[in-house]
Amino acid sequence: MKKLMLGNEAAARGLYEAGCAFVSSYPGTPSTEITEAAAKYPEIYAEWAPNEKVAMEAAFGASLAGRRSFCGMKHVGLNVAADPLFTIAYTGVNGGMVIAVADDAGMHSSQNEQDSRHYARAAKLPMLEPSDSAEALAFTKLAYDLSEQFDTPVMLKMCTRIAHSQSVVETGQRVEPDAKPYEKNPGKYIMMPGNAKRRHPVVEERLRKLTEWAETASINRIEPGSSHKMGIITSSTSYQYVKEACGDTYPVLKLGMVWPLPEKKILDFAKSVSMLVVVEELDAFIEDHCRNLGLACVGKAHFPRVDELSQNEVAAELSQAFPAGVKLGGDIPPRPPVMCAGCPHRGLFYTLAKNKLTVLGDIGCYTLGAVAPLGAMDTTICMGASVSGLHGFNKAMGGESEGRTVAVIGDSTFMHSGVTGLINTAYNESHSTVIILDNSITGMTGHQQNPTTGFNLKGDPCAKIDLESLCRAVGIRRVRVVDPYDLAACDAAVKEELAADEPSVIISRRPCALLKYVKHPGPVHADPDKCVGCKSCMKVGCPAISIRDGKAVIDSTLCTGCGVCTQLCKPNALGGKEE
Amino acid sequence: METKNIMIVGVGGQGTLLASKLLGRLLLDKGFDVKVSEVHGMSQRGGSVVTYVRWGEKVYSPIAGKGQADVILSFELLEAARWTEHLRPGGKIITNTQQINPMPVITEAAAYPDNLVEKMRGAGIDLDAIDALSLAREAGSSKAVNIVLMGRLSRWFDFTETEWLDAVRQSVPEKFVEMNERAFRLGRGA
């Protein structure tokens, strides 16, 4: 049956059809929906792990137990899971194991733009790269066959435009492979030096065999062209841009496997054309390999290493540029993302801004506390870096910073890798103040459960990690909870904990305003007769408040009635219900 | 046939995703090859959002670049103005006249441009501007802006109203079907 599916949903369908039995992932845009969609198949056990390293190790365990397993993550998540990645490359698998990594060229929702293909080369693992949803499904199934045939984890590389584009797929039936028996095999699975030394040559030999396989694999195909003026090597979404821009004019070597590369096939293809062109997003990965093979080729001299490509860039270089439409004169103000109206983070960030604190930030919706008018953030690096960074900052600066610097980290991010930083804070004792922004959900990636919410990925009730007890257990004695809608309470908590001569944790607790179960009082009323136009309410950066003709106006389609602005309105012009 | 392109633009949270899914499903049912790109993650949080719906005999790229959109369906006036360069010669912009201030305007770092409808028409753009928010409220909910605009967009296609309404029914929760049917008809007729 023909269906429109997101690339991520199609990959999940591939998991289902391949008989995958076990999925463990941590959410991250643009990878999240693979695991969410997989969880909808009752035949697949699926879970959110606290982080990508745990997810990959759990998936390895399921493979060891003889079942087909999967873990999925975004590019930066693979950095977290890189430790197991490089060593399960040595052990190989028992049941087939597939690792999906989704890159975010263009940084639609990421802190950097790394090219994950380098991991496949560095860890010596095969990597498949689909170019639409149909391939996402087919390549996921193929990845399991390769994994078991070559005794290796197989990487499936997605990117934003494949993961988050719907295209047509035809679905098939699930196969139910028998679990492979688990047999103790220390030489294969205990990677201490003596054994690992014997495994490394196995890995090199496996890569040689995979290169041979790649030479004749149908997923590395040559599409003929009418002109041999040039030949284009490409893959993934870049392939689609090439076909859109050039049609069938030039021959195309379309790579479905981007590591290891089919060297003989590339050399033969290069011989058949007058000029070799490589079109790929981000780094010159294929291009560099072509040069290593001694080939002259055109690539990053013409195409950018930054941002995502489109058919427009390809057309401008290789065929005829598309003429742009009319550009309007005058400034069009940008519309950056903002904290939602009613967001519980707002009150807390207002408090930090008001007290002019230095704020080490982290990864989540609350990174938006960095933008005007709140501007209450100094750093954002990676998951967990706020807590550990604050410790180093305070140790280096001492009392000078301890009284005016905080870390902010979300509940899910804290479980991911904040808790280890907090352990360091307690163990090596910096008088740091860590604020956990507990909105009872993993917000930015679209409301995933996590170990603090009391529900699992399938939506069933489960163990709920108690943040207060956890913080106390690692050695923090000062742990307190505040309601971020209560500005006076936030201010008191922040001032008191900063003044304390020991590490402390403030849990700013209120569920995300977008959660379905959260009931809002409804929009507040702005009384133009009482409003003096002081703009105090504008300091919280709420998208529901604006000034018109010198008076505050509330957008009743957005306002939830959280009441943060009403606490700042001295003349009581904001309050009550919209009439 | 040549690949056709619709860009759906708006502000995160306005329901552009549902609109692009509805359109994609309808076009697939009509036998076309279809690609629909979506936006997830940070840009959804009140930011400028863009989805693309492309269809034809064989569609390659999931996105449409500058000069390629046959129609830009905009959920907010400033967003229509932002993407005019993506319109192909002879293309059409259908826009909601609702104005939602972006944060730089709220903080008075920038001003919301005046007379955008006139400016776009003055630049030679074929512009269809409707007050979709009022029509959505008339239908029963301000949240039905997306379906009002789908109704407006439906005039550009030669599919029947019945086919469209079937697609609407498949895309919205059952308890909101009647309200959304009203919204669709108001948009189509407005």
- Does A578 have pLDDT greater than 60? no
- Nearest Cα neighbor of A51 from A363, A455, A365 is A363
Tens of pLDDT, residue by residue over A74-99, are: 999 999 999 999 999 999 999 999 99
CB-based contact A480:A401 (threshold 8 Å) = no
Is residue B91 classed as helix, strand or coil in its secondary structure? strand
Is some CB atom of chain B closer than 8 A to the CB atom of A534?
Answer: no
B103 and A6 in contact by Cβ < 8 A?
no
CB-based contact A380:A363 (threshold 8 Å) = yes
Distances (CA, A) of B82 to A452, A512, A536, A552: 41, 30, 31, 27
Lowest mean per-residue pLDDT among A325-329, A388-392, A468-472: A325-329
- Does B95 have pLDDT greater than 90? yes
- Residue A429 in tokens: 């004792």
CB-based contact A565:A535 (threshold 8 Å) = no
Where residue A297 falls (left for φ over 0; alpha for ψ -120 to 50; beta otherwise) is: beta
Helix (H) or strand (E) holding B126: strand B126-130
Chain A residue with the nearest C-alpha to that of B46? A337
Tens of pLDDT, residue by residue over B165-186, are: 999 999 999 999 999 999 999 9
- Nearest Cα neighbor of A432 from A423, A444, A445 is A423
B45 and A339 in contact by Cβ < 8 A?
yes
- pLDDT for res A329: 83
CB-based contact A309:A237 (threshold 8 Å) = yes
% helix / strand / coil in chain A, to the nearest 5?
40, 20, 45
Round to the nearest angstrom and report the end-to-end CA distance of chain A: 52
- Does A577 have pLDDT greater than 70? no
B39 and A108 in contact by Cβ < 8 A?
yes
Outline where A361-475 has alpha helix (H): 385-397, 399-402, 411-413, 419-427, 467-473
Q: What angle (nearest 5°) sits at the alpha carbon of residue A488, between those of residues A487 and A492? A: 115
Tens of pLDDT, residue by residue over B15-73, are: 899 999 999 999 999 999 999 998 876 666 789 999 999 999 999 999 999 999 999 99
Shortest Cα distance, chain B CAs vs residue A555, angstroms: 9
Shortest Cα distance, chain B CAs vs residue A238, angstroms: 9
Shortest Cα distance, chain B CAs vs residue A288, angstroms: 25
- pLDDT for res B40: 76
Q: What is the DSSP string of A211-274?
A: HHHHHH-TTSEEEP-S--S-EEEEEHHHHHHHHHHHTTSS-EEEESEEES--HHHHHHHHHTSS
Is some CB atom of chain B closer than 8 A to the CB atom of A570?
Answer: no
Q: What is the DSSP string of A505-545?
A: EEEEE---TTSTT------EEE-TTT-----GGGGG--TTE
Tens of pLDDT, residue by residue over A3-24, are: 999 999 999 999 999 999 999 9
Q: Within 10 Å of residue B158's Cβ, how many Cβ atoms?
A: 6
Work out whether strand A551-554 and strand A545-548 pair parallel, antiparallel, or are unpaired. antiparallel
A444 and B37 in contact by Cβ < 8 A?
no
Residues ≥6 apart with Cβ < 8 Å to A248:
A223, A224, A225, A226
A340 and B46 in contact by Cβ < 8 A?
yes
Lowest mean per-residue pLDDT among A131-140, A189-198, A207-216, B30-39: B30-39
CB-based contact A183:A59 (threshold 8 Å) = no
Give the pLDDT band (50/70/90) at residue A304: very high
**A–B: how many Cβ contacts below 8 A?**
200
- pLDDT for res A182: 98
Average pLDDT across chain A, whole number:
96
Tens of pLDDT, residue by residue over A254-273, are: 999 999 999 999 999 999 99
- Locate the DSSP E strands across A13-129: 22-25, 45-48, 69-74, 97-103, 127-128
Give the pLDDT band (50/70/90) at residue A37: very high
Diameter of chain B measured on Cα atoms: 49
Looking at beta carbons, which residues of chain B come within 8 Å of A167?
A: 34-36, 59, 62
Looking at beta carbons, which residues of chain B come within 8 Å of A166?
A: 21, 24, 34-38
CB-based contact A70:A20 (threshold 8 Å) = yes
Mean pLDDT calculated for residue range A205-214: 98
How many whole angstroms separate alpha carbon A180 and alpha carbon A46?
Answer: 20
How many whole angstroms separate alpha carbon B137 and alpha carbon B145?
Answer: 8
Shortest Cα distance, chain A CAs vs residue B105, angstroms: 7
Residue A107, strand partner residues: none
A373 and B86 in contact by Cβ < 8 A?
no
- pLDDT for res A60: 98
- pLDDT for res B44: 67
How many whole angstroms separate alpha carbon A135 and alpha carbon A11?
Answer: 8
- Residue A147 in tokens: 């994994």
How many whole angstroms separate alpha carbon A35 and alpha carbon A27?
Answer: 8
Outline where B6-159 has alpha helix (H): 16-29, 77-82, 103-106, 116-122, 132-139, 145-154
How many whole angstroms separate alpha carbon B153 and alpha carbon B16?
Answer: 13
Tens of pLDDT, residue by residue over B109-168, are: 999 999 999 999 999 999 999 999 999 999 999 999 999 999 999 999 999 999 999 999
- pLDDT for res A406: 98
- pLDDT for res B107: 87
Give the pLDDT band (50/70/90) at residue A353: very high
- Nearest Cα neighbor of A336 from B49, B40, B51 is B49
Looking at beta carbons, which residues of chain B come within 8 Å of A545?
A: 106
Go through chain A and tell me how many residues it has.
579
Mean pLDDT calculated for residue range A278-290: 98
Looking at beta carbons, which residues of chain A come within 8 Å of B105?
A: 333, 546
φ, ψ for residue A214 (rounded to 5)? -60, -30
Share of chain A above pLDDT 90, in %: 96
Helix (H) or strand (E) holding A200: helix A193-216
Share of chain A above pLDDT 70, in %: 99
Q: Which residue has the tokens 């280890």?
A: A420
Give the pLDDT band (50/70/90) at residue B1: confident
Looking at beta carbons, which residues of chain B come within 8 Å of A32?
A: 40
Give the pLDDT band (50/70/90) at residue A52: very high
Residue A48, strand partner residues: A25
Q: Within 10 Å of residue A43's Cβ, how many Cβ atoms?
A: 12
How many whole angstroms separate alpha carbon A25 and alpha carbon A46?
Answer: 8
DSSP conformation class of A178: P
How many whole angstroms separate alpha carbon B78 and alpha carbon B113?
Answer: 8
- Nearest Cα neighbor of A148 from A129, A175, A170 is A175
Average pLDDT across chain B, whole number:
94
- pLDDT for res B21: 93
Which of A4, A324, A557 comes nearest B85 by C-beta?
A: A324
Go through chain B and tell me how many residues it has.
190
Round to the nearest angstrom and report the end-to-end CA distance of chain B: 30
Tens of pLDDT, residue by residue over A393-452, are: 999 998 889 999 999 999 999 999 999 999 999 999 999 999 999 999 999 999 999 999
Chain A residue with the nearest C-alpha to that of B32? A168
How many whole angstroms separate alpha carbon B128 and alpha carbon B95?
Answer: 6
B42 and A29 in contact by Cβ < 8 A?
yes
Q: Which amino acid is at A20?
A: C
Q: Within 10 Å of residue B115's Cβ, how many Cβ atoms?
A: 10
Distances (CA, A) of B9 to A46, A438, B19: 34, 32, 10
Omega cis (within 30) before A373: yes
